[in-house]
Amino acid sequence: MLVLSRQLDESIMIGDDIVITLVDIRGDKIRLGIAAPPNVPIHRQEVYESIQRENMQAAFVERQLGEPVGGKPSTVRLRVARAEVIR
């Protein structure tokens, strides 16, 4: 893990397309601004893990039923898979 120190309004570059900026410091919390291409999903870790759990549950139900849940393929699973590769 790379650990960096940043001051207010300073940024970190990830590759050529992703910029993370320290926007605000309030007590023991910081606020980050993230600029990334629209095809790069950005989630808080707890939201990302929830999406993965729901995708695994949906995949299990699809296997049991033999068809996609809701009658159409899930696009969320594809976006999450790309996020794993990028991060």
Number of domains in the chain: 2
| Judgement on whether residues 34 and 49 belong to the same structural domain of the protein | no
Question: Which residue range(s) make up the domain with 28?
Answer: 1-38
Pick 24 or 81 by higher pLDDT.
Answer: 24
The sheet that has 11-14: what strands, in order across it? 11-14, 18-26, 29-35
pTM for this entry:
0.63
| Judgement on whether residues 62 and 79 belong to the same structural domain of the protein | yes
| Judgement on whether residues 28 and 54 belong to the same structural domain of the protein | no
- Cβ neighbourhood burial of 2 (10 Å; 0-12, 13-18, 19+): exposed
| Judgement on whether residues 57 and 77 belong to the same structural domain of the protein | yes
| Judgement on whether residues 33 and 53 belong to the same structural domain of the protein | no
Overall average pLDDT of the 73-78 stretch: 49
| Judgement on whether residues 51 and 23 belong to the same structural domain of the protein | no
Which of 28, 16, 9, 26 has its CA nearest to residue 86?
16
Please check the confidence at residue 83 and state whether its pLDDT lies above 50.
no
86 band by pLDDT with thresholds 50, 70 and 90 = very low
Cα 41 to Cα 49, 52, 65, 68, 83, distances in angstroms? 13, 13, 29, 23, 6
